[in-house]
A and B are shown apart, each in its own frame.
Chain A
Amino acid sequence: KNEVEQSPQNLTAQEGEFITINCSYSVGISALHWLQQHPGGGIVSLFMLSSGKKKHGRLIATINIQEKHSSLHITASHPRDSAVYICAGGRDTGNQFYFGTGTSLTVIP
Chain B
Amino acid sequence: DVKVTQSSRYLVKRTGEKVFLECVQDMDHENMFWYRQDPGLGLRLIYFSYDVKMKEKGDIPEGYSVSREKKERFSLILESASTNQTSMYLCASRFRRFSQPQHFGDGTRLSIL
Contact = CB atoms under 8 A, between A and B. Distances in A.
Interface stretch (A54-62, A63-71, A84-92): A84-92
Contact of A41 (B90, B92, B103): B90
A42 to B, nearest CB: 4
A101 B102 contact: no
A96 B106 contact: no
B48 interface: yes
Given A86-B43, A100-B42, A101-B42, A41 B102 contact: no
Nearest to A33: B101
B39 to A, nearest CB: 9
Size band of the B side of the interface? 20 to 34
A48 B41 CA distance: 22
Nearest to B92: A43
Contact of A40 (B90, B101, B106): B106
Interface in B1-48: 9, 31, 33, 40-45, 48
B56 A95 contact: yes
Interface of B is mostly: strand
A1 B48 CA distance: 23
Size band of the A side of the interface? 20 to 34
Nearest to B49: A95
A90 B9 CA distance: 28
B41 A101 contact: yes
A97 B86 CA distance: 23
Contact of A101 (B40, B50, B58, B105): B40
B74 interface: no
Nearest to A101: B42
